[in-house]
């Protein structure tokens, strides 16, 4: 007889379990989605493992998911013939959270308001624990794909601890048995479960049996033509593939034959998960070859800044046996990423023109990514720059303009695109720089974020026009109309000389200029010097 060992959940897991058990009441059915998605992940890993390993436990077991309901016992069981888990893996995967997901999860739930939105859970990489929304007890029976693995059972009620014990005669993979809470017995009912599964089971890449009957057809909707996919199917696919709780803001579904055969289905989310304090997201567009998953989060497929994009890229030009490692250096993959990212940026530019209001709302949440793109993605820099939006001297507060529209309404004699970096609209409007530009009728972009400075400096030109800061010495506004009398040249240089002495160390040079209308003086950043905002940023970074 073996004796079970008892283990404490890691503190972060306890925190998640506490939220799951005590604050999530809506959308409880998503626990099925999360467990099926884990089963599919485990099967996917098994498929890849079988390509390289000869010594596999129960190597003949079919790669499928088996769900059974038992109303009399009040249980639902979800089993898969995936990679399973060893004792150490049970402790690692079901007892701890590797990343700081739980804190972000707790914060996001607070944002979501009372009652708690359970569908958030998958986004945070803690989907397994969603089972405890409906469970009095969860048992995970498992045998790893490794031949020397043990036959095990993990058990918990979600209250602080779990046990691991030997359990003879387990099949390869995981079998998760959930004893349902009194108020969740509906999930022991086959037709309830079938209804829940029907929403997304066709997107699962492996057969699913429910009480002995096949429920899904395994289809790759990205390979279908646009007009044969319904809005509901698209949305359900997005939610399943991205573990998403929101609706997509934009969707791009396209097929191309040249220069590569590509089937792509991409979604831009509604919520920016990085704003929830999750840290950097993983790339969200999976790479497939003829429906077969090559890598769910390929790091070098799309440019880094596009990590908020979700979906699928499938290309039959890829060799099926391409490994994740060799994929990263593959010229073909690079080309694929280039083609798709160009297409996506162009698509967004068009959408932004067709419905500026919608884009502005989207941009308000995702601007960081586009700015990062301009600064880091040289191949696409100019195209991404078209998507940047700023307030300006010609917009209302809260309204924005893009560089394209700016250029369109430039004055005939205007040679550059002007901008001012400052923390707020009022500080710009109250300052001395703007008036000269205003009197010329030149628009000035207002850049409020510290990174804007850096972003703009990586963009020397747009549409052949230089971008110039209003406090740059290169700004040339030509002759300004002045009212009243001007000082004589001698008087001006005497005044300048006196100022230089009086301000001593503070300034490099004092000179007469033509660009002030009513303010007496302004500060200009000398060539090659950091401007004030940059200096402030550097100061703030110093320990």
Non-local CB neighbours of 429 within 8 Å, separated by 6+ positions: none
Residue 235 annotated as lining a ligand binding site: no
93 near ligand ADP (CB under 6 A): yes
* Nearest C-alpha neighbor of 209 from the set 185, 223, 190: 190
Nearer CB in complex with ligand ADP: 99/110? 99
Nearer CB in complex with Mg ion: 38/86? 38
Tell me how many residues contact ligand ADP (CB under 6 A): 17
Pairs from 506-514 (Cβ < 8 Å, separation ≥ 24): 514/477, 514/478, 514/479, 514/480
Residue entry with tokens 């301000």: 503
- Closest separation in Å from C-beta 249 to ligand ADP: 23
Judged by CB under 6 A, the stretch of 78-86, 209-217, 331-339, 467-475 that binds ligand ADP is: 78-86
Residues 221-280 interacting with ligand ADP (rule: CB under 6 A): none
Nearer CB in complex with ligand ADP: 20/403? 20
Return the structure tokens found at 418: 């002007």
Residues 16-35 interacting with ligand ADP (rule: CB under 6 A): 34
Looking at the DSSP bridge assignments, the partners of residue 253 are 265
Return the structure tokens found at 463: 């549409």
Residues lying near Mg ion in the complex (CB under 5 A) are found at: 38, 127
Please report how many Cα atoms fall inside a 13 Å half-sphere around the Cα of residue 388, on the Cβ side.
27
Secondary structure (DSSP) of 352-409: HHH-HHHHHHHHHHHHHHHHHHHHH-GGGHHHHHTT-EEEETTSPTT--EEHHHHHHT
- Closest separation in Å from C-beta 102 to ligand ADP: 11
Residue 124 annotated as lining a ligand binding site: yes
SS3 state at 316: coil
Nearer CB in complex with Mg ion: 127/402? 127
Looking at the DSSP bridge assignments, the partners of residue 208 are 65
Residue 412 annotated as lining a ligand binding site: no
Nearer CB in complex with ligand ADP: 41/165? 41
Considering only 126, 236, 252, 421, the residue that binds ligand ADP (CB under 6 A) is 126
Please choose which of ligand ADP, Mg ion, none residue 94 contacts, taking the beta carbon within 5 to 8 angstroms, the exact cut-off set by kind.
ligand ADP
Considering only 94, 193, 312, 422, the residue that binds ligand ADP (CB under 6 A) is 94
* Nearest C-alpha neighbor of 188 from the set 20, 290, 100, 71: 71
Considering only 128, 203, 362, 370, the residue that binds ligand ADP (CB under 6 A) is 128
* Nearest C-alpha neighbor of 30 from the set 159, 114, 124, 120: 120
Residue 125 annotated as lining a ligand binding site: yes
Contact 341, 252 (CB under 8 A): no
Residue entry with tokens 């002995």: 212
List, as residue ranges, the binding site: 34, 38, 80, 85, 93, 100-101, 123-128, 324
Positions that interact with ligand ADP (CB under 6 A): 34, 38-39, 41-42, 80, 82-85, 93-94, 125-128, 174
């Amino acid at each position: 007889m073996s004796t079970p060992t008892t283990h404490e959940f890691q503190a972060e897991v306890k925190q998640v379990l506490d939220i799951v058990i005590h604050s999530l009441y809506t959308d409880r059915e998503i626990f099925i989605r999360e467990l099926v998605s884990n089963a599919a992940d485990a099967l996917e890993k098994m498929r890849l493992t079988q390509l390289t390993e000869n010594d596999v436990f129960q190597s003949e077991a079919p790669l499928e998911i088996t769900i059974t309901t038992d109303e009399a016992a009040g249980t639902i069981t979800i089993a898969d013939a995936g990679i399973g888990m060893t004792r150490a893996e049970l402790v690692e995967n079901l007892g701890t959270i590797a990343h700081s997901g739980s804190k972000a999860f707790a914060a996001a739930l607070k944002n979501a308001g009372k009652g708690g939105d359970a569908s958030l859970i998958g986004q945070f990489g803690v989907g397994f624990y969603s089972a405890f929304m409906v469970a009095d007890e969860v048992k995970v029976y498992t045998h790893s794909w490794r031949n020397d693995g043990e036959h095990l059972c993990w058990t918990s009620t979600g209250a602080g601890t779990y046990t691991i014990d030997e359990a003879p005669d387990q099949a390869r993979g995981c079998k998760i048995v959930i004893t349902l809470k009194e108020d969740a017995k509906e999930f022991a009912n086959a037709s309830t479960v079938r209804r829940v599964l029907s929403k997304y089971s066709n997107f699962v890449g492996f057969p699913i049996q429910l009480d002995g009957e096949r429920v899904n057809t395994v289809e790759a909707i990205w390979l279908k033509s646009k007009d044969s996919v319904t809005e509901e199917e698209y949305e359900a696919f997005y939610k399943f593939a991205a573990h998403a709780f929101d609706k997509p803001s934009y969707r791009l579904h396209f097929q191309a034959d040249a220069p590569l055969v590509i089937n792509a289905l991409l979604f831009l989310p509604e919520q920016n998960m990085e704003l929830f304090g999750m840290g950097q997201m993983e790339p969200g567009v999976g790479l497939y070859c003829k429906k077969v998953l090559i890598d769910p989060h390929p790091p070098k497929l799309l440019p880094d800044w596009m990590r908020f994009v979700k979906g699928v890229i499938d290309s039959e030009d890829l060799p099926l046996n391409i490994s994740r490692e060799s994929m990263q250096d593959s010229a073909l993959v690079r080309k694929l990423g280039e083609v798709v990212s160009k297409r996506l940026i162009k698509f967004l530019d068009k959408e932004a023109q067709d419905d500026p209001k919608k884009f502005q709302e989207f941009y308000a949440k995702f601007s960081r990514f586009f700015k990062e793109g301009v600064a880091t993605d040289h191949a696409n820099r100019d195209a991404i720059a078209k998507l940047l939006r700023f307030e300006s001297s010609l917009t209302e507060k809260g309204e924005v303009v893009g560089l394209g529209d700016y250029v369109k309404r430039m004055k005939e004699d205007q040679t550059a695109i002007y901008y001012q970096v400052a923390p707020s609209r009022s500080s710009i409007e109250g300052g001395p720089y703007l008036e000269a530009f205003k009197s010329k009728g030149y628009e000035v972009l207002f850049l409020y974020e510290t990174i804007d400075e850096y972003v703009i400096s990586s963009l020397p030109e747009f549409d052949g026009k230089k971008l110039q800061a209003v406090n740059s010495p290169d700004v040339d506004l030509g002759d300004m109309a002045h009212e009243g009398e001007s000082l004589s040249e001698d008087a001006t240089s005497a005044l300048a000389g006196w100022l230089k002495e009086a301000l001593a160390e503070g300034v490099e040079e004092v000179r007469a200029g033509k660009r002030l209308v009513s303010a007496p003086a302004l500060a200009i950043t000398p060539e090659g010097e950091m401007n004030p905002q940059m200096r402030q940023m550097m100061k703030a970074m110093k320990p």
